[in-house]
Amino acid sequence: MHPSVEAFALAAGLLALGAALVHRFGFPPLPVYLLTGLAVGEGLPVEELEPLPSLGLLLLLFSVGLEFGPDRLKELSGKATRAGLYDALALPLGFLLGLLAGLDLRGAALLAGVLYVSSSAVIVKLIIDLRRAANPESEVVLGVLVLEDLVVALLLALLGGHGAGGFLGGIALAALYLLFARYLGPRLVRFMEGLSDELVLLLGAAFTAGTALLFHAVGASEGVGAFLSGVIAAGLGLRARLEHLFGPVRDLGVALFFLVVGAEALKLLKGLSPLAVGLVVLGLFLKLPLNHLGGGQAGLGRKRRLYSALYLVPRGEFNLVLGSLALAQGYPLVAQVAVLLVLLSIPLGALLIRYAPELGERLYPRAPRPRRVGSSRA
């Protein structure tokens, strides 16, 4: 039997066991996938699992773009935009931290992105799993995530390519894709309405992977290509069908991706410096006061603005993309910060989101109702 089959069977079994354990306690499984990878470490032949984890990351970025397509931008409320502006203050603060840490301008910009962007995939899944999508703070958080994803997609386009040529090539490709969606998209949608789900799934996978390859070929970030694929598909009105078809495939790939991240983190984190640990600690708490202030500007009450700040703690997919880019460009410190921040923030964020109402009650207890005079019985 091929070694890749053995590695997949072992990985799937470990992931299923971890997911089953946390399911009993009502926790989302993503943190367990990371911790499982850390636990098995070098005992898992992660190289045999490729290309599934890499495909899982592309499908994850495609799903993020699908969730936050151009139609969702029109739904952005003014209060979510105001909260997002406060959240974006983490970018210049992170850039300043990078310069103070001795990084050059490019490295400081990569670090700023790592400290700034929260995980849309993790946070949306947690909000849905905990049945809080209708809460007022969730609307603000989802709006902030839309703005974050757009800012980081632009940052990847600027820093992810091979200099100005890669950036211009990515811009040109994006413009071509948008023109295609504008003029030929409606015909394509009508054509796809008569296709089977199996064929639509295959075409969607080919479109996402092919776009990522094209972006890579012109020197731009393949992650931006996968994200753009989702944005265009959402703009064509294909969100519901593609989410239904890609959901199980994406979840499997994402589970393997986070397992591999956890398993390979031990190699990257060997020789971890106090500077990297300090940057991670600052990164964990940097956005809390900013998002708390942003929640206030969005009109949330004291408890709800606390919830919104806690919801934005987890980091994930874009942080890892920025981290791998930093490692490839010679910034191991940024890569270490990115990986350790993801490893710590997802479990911590899941706990904070899960127990946010309890924390709110402890920090802002309800004032006791005054007793009416003469209401007590003699």
| Structural domains of the chain, with CATH | 3-42+53-359 (1.20.1530.20)
pLDDT at 88: 92
Report the C-alpha gap between 172 and 162 in whole angstroms: 15
- Local confidence band at 370 (pLDDT 50, 70, 90 cut-offs): low
CA distance 344 to 163: 32
Cβ–Cβ < 8 Å for 291, 86: yes
The widest CA-to-CA distance across the chain, in whole angstroms, is 86
Percent of the chain with pLDDT over 70: 90
Report pTM. Answer: 0.77
Long-range CB contact pairs, 355-361, < 8 A, 24+: 356/306, 356/307, 356/310, 356/311, 357/303, 357/307, 359/306, 359/310, 360/303, 360/306, 360/307
Q: How does pLDDT run across 121-150, given as a tens digit for each residue?
A: 788 878 877 788 778 888 888 888 888 888
Q: How far, in Å, CA of 175 to CA of 97, rounded?
A: 34
Q: What count of Cα atoms within 13 Å lies in the side-chain half-sphere of residue 334?
A: 33
The average pLDDT across 46-71 equals: 77
**Cβ within 8 Å of residue 220, ≥6 positions away:** 157, 160, 161, 166, 167, 169, 170, 173
pLDDT in tens, 176-230: 888 888 888 888 888 888 888 889 888 888 988 898 898 888 877 787 888 888 8
Distance separating alpha carbons of residues 133 and 141, to the nearest angstrom: 10
- Say whether pLDDT at 74 is over 70: no
Please check the confidence at residue 290 and state whether its pLDDT lies above 60. Answer: yes
Burial class (CB in 10 A: 0-12, 13-18, 19+), 86: buried
Q: Tell me: pLDDT of 166 over 70.
A: no
Of 104-113, 256-265, 345-354, least confident by mean pLDDT is 256-265
Burial of 149 (0-12, 13-18, 19+ CB in 10 A): buried
d(CA 328, CA 321): 11
Whole-number Å distance between alpha carbons of 161 and 122: 26
Helical packing angle, 317-328 and 52-67, nearest 10°: 130
CA nearest to 53, candidates 226, 204, 259, 205: 259
Q: How far is CA 25 from CA 14, 90, 281, in A?
A: 18, 34, 28
What pLDDT, in 10s, does the model give residues 253-283?
A: 888 887 887 787 777 777 788 999 999 999 9
**Residue 337: its pLDDT value, please?**
93
What would the pLDDT profile of 26-40 be if each residue is shown by its tens digit? 666 777 787 888 777
More confident residue, 224 or 98: 98
Please check the confidence at residue 160 and state whether its pLDDT lies above 70: no
State the pLDDT at residue 98: 94
SS3 letters across 99-167:
HHCCCCHHHHHHHHHHHHCCCHHHHHHHHHHCCCCCCHHHHHHHHHHHHHHHHHHHHHHHHCCCHHHHH
**pLDDT reported for residue 195:** 85
Lowest-pLDDT choice from 107-111, 133-137, 333-337: 133-137
- pLDDT over 50 (residue 378): no
Distance CA 142, CA 81 (A): 10
Please say if the pLDDT value at position 376 is more than 50: no
